[in-house]
Amino acid sequence: MKLLKDILDKVKIITTNGGAEKVINTIAFDSREVVLNSLFVAQKGLVFDGHQFIDKAIEQGAIAIVCEEFPKNLAQDITYIKVEDSNSALAIIASNFYDNPSSKLKLIGITGTNGKTTIATLLYNLFQKLEYKSGLLSTVKIMVDTVEYEATHTTPNSILINKYLNEMVNKGVDYCFMEVSSHGIHQKRTEGLQFAGGVFTNLTHDHLDYHKTFAAYRDVKKSFFNSLSKSAFALVNIDDKNGMIMLQNTKAKKYSYALKTMADFKAKILENEFSGLLLNINGNEVWTKLTGSFNAYNLTAIYGVANLLGIDSVRALTRISELESVSGRFQHFVSNEGIIAVIDYAHTPDALKNVLETINNIRTGNEQVITVVGCGGDRDKAKRPVMGRIASQLSSQVVFTSDNPRSENPQTIIEEMEVGVEPQNLKKTLSIANREQAIKTATKLANKGDIILIAGKGHETYQEIKGERSHFDDLEVVTHFLEVIEK
């Protein structure tokens, strides 16, 4: 419970109607979650406008309303607060309601197109191995020390973020590692949080259905670094041309990591195999269980964060060598028949290119690379032909299939991917809309030593078709069909 006047601290208020001495038991932005003595925040969303549900929230028990526009008829005994931006207000209110938990631990935000989940998760695992109580807010899961919660968004809503951070503080957590998505930044979900550091991984084609232009997408990411305080650090990948742009207006201490450029944290790949990477990081050799140049970047960033948080280099590298790959991120196994299956979340052109180039760099050249890939429905359509071109260029054979078609026709999505296939690669491609059948076909095409890449869904355990979700796990499916082959 909190006084209304206290949880409105630092909110940009235009005007109010009613008293601010009320005791608030809960805060909500969904009228269905309002209970007695709630504060309801009306947000203008992409689909619904919360202002339309103010009366319902009051019926449910709300005693205070935060909104951008006052209703025509103001209810008696209800306090109305008019603000510039409801999204921003909700984030600050949530932080105040939970006693600003981000200021009581070291919160590190990781943003970029690819690598966020891997870096955040491996940092959590690393600091647990270093015997620090740690927290994780990621696409895959939420961890409060050793207690796991299900994740629903890359960056949760403001109330959940602060609720989990508060729980971490109560459990004595020292560090929290958080994925920061462009949607989360743009929708102000991270406003009011005090970050001890920020990491930029890379920037490639993604989410242009939402941000409309690449420049807008880039500038949203940049705004995260602009908001860091001078006591925080900003660690960026300067092999990406956007890395230095992220640092232009930040007040944070500036650091860099790279494989190709001189940087504060510099790595070199000495060996790259399916079994792992041998790296030289800042003059120290370390063998890791992860594979591929993209993971060399991830591990260098992880080493950099550990260093900036005061962890001894030898101690950090010793534990880094013990880290396992993250679920659905270049997760691979070898069947009894000698067929290698790789499951990866690659759902952007750059991520798909990185994974396929990694496979091609490791293989001897005698094996086939059979790729199963699709593109999500109701999302950025511009990347579909690009994904089709990359898959067909870098694979021996490609099976185009569904990847959460949502409300769209799966075959239409596949046809839009096929537009990008160059004429000389057309013979390499098959089209099978049913994802299970596509994976089964790939296993039938594979012989001993061949590599099957199943891209796009990674850790996800569902398939969304016509608005309905059903259980679907790429790893389960490919394992089943490879076992069938082995009988």
Average pLDDT over residues 338-348: 93
Indicate the helix (H) or strand (E) that contains 137: strand 134-137
> pLDDT > 90: what percent of the chain?
88
Higher pLDDT among residues 328 and 483, named by residue: 328
Average pLDDT over residues 266-275: 95
C-alpha 65/C-alpha 81 separation (Å) is 6
Tell me the per-residue pLDDT of 199-237, one tens digit each, with 9 for 90 and over.
999 998 655 555 568 888 899 999 999 999 999 999 999
Q: Is the pLDDT of residue 336 over 60?
A: yes
| Contact criterion met (CB below 8 Å) for 91 and 41 | no
- Nearest Cα to Cα of residue 358 among 320, 321, 387, 332: 332
Residues present in the chain in total: 487
Q: Is the pLDDT of residue 486 over 80?
A: no
Average pLDDT over residues 125-145: 96
| Contact criterion met (CB below 8 Å) for 252 and 233 | yes
C-alpha 78/C-alpha 80 separation (Å) is 6
Task: Grade residue 242 by pLDDT with cuts at 50, 70 and 90.
Answer: very high
Dihedral, 282, 283, 287, 289 alpha carbons, nearest 10: 10
Give the chain's mean pLDDT: 94
Classify 328 as helix, strand or coil.
coil
C-alpha 355/C-alpha 76 separation (Å) is 60
Task: Grade residue 280 by pLDDT with cuts at 50, 70 and 90.
Answer: very high
Determine the pLDDT at residue 283.
96
Q: In this structure, is the dihedral angle defined by the CA atoms of residues 404, 410, 412 and 416, taken in order, positive or negative?
A: positive
Phi, psi at 111, each rounded to 5°: -135, 160
Tell me the per-residue pLDDT of 301-327, one tens digit each, with 9 for 90 and over.
999 999 999 999 999 999 999 999 888
Average pLDDT over residues 466-481: 93
Determine the pLDDT at residue 208.
55
Task: Grade residue 105 by pLDDT with cuts at 50, 70 and 90.
Answer: very high
Higher pLDDT among residues 23 and 155, named by residue: 23
Tell me the per-residue pLDDT of 398-454, one tens digit each, with 9 for 90 and over.
999 999 999 999 999 999 999 999 999 999 999 999 999 999 999 999 999 999 999
Dihedral, 111, 115, 118, 122 alpha carbons, nearest 10: -70
Determine the pLDDT at residue 47.
79
Determine the pLDDT at residue 487.
39
| Contact criterion met (CB below 8 Å) for 200 and 111 | yes
Average pLDDT over residues 335-351: 92
Tell me the per-residue pLDDT of 68-101, one tens digit each, with 9 for 90 and over.
999 999 999 999 999 999 999 999 999 999 999 9
Indicate the helix (H) or strand (E) that contains 341: strand 340-344
Helix ranges restricted to H, 227-258: 243-247
- 364-385 burial, b for 16+ CB within 10 Å, e for fewer? eeebbbbbbbbbbbebbeebbb
C-alpha 458/C-alpha 313 separation (Å) is 32
Q: Is the pLDDT of residue 339 over 60?
A: yes
- Going by DSSP bridges, is the β-strand pair 106-111/197-200 parallel, antiparallel, or unpaired? parallel
| Contact criterion met (CB below 8 Å) for 366 and 449 | yes
Q: In this structure, is the dihedral angle defined by the CA atoms of residues 257, 191, 168 and 112, taken in order, positive or negative?
A: negative
Classify 417 as helix, strand or coil.
helix
CA 33 and chain centroid, separation: 26
C-alpha 472/C-alpha 469 separation (Å) is 9
Q: Is the pLDDT of residue 483 over 90?
A: no
Average pLDDT over residues 370-387: 94
Task: Grade residue 365 by pLDDT with cuts at 50, 70 and 90.
Answer: confident
- Nearest Cα to Cα of residue 296 among 357, 253, 244, 364: 357
DSSP 49: B
- Going by DSSP bridges, is the β-strand pair 141-144/134-137 parallel, antiparallel, or unpaired? antiparallel
C-alpha 377/C-alpha 183 separation (Å) is 18
Average pLDDT over residues 183-211: 85
**Residue 33: Cβ within 10 Å count:** 14
Task: Grade residue 473 by pLDDT with cuts at 50, 70 and 90.
Answer: very high
Using a cut of 0.85, tell me whether the model's pTM lies above it: yes
Determine the pLDDT at residue 209.
58
| Contact criterion met (CB below 8 Å) for 271 and 286 | no
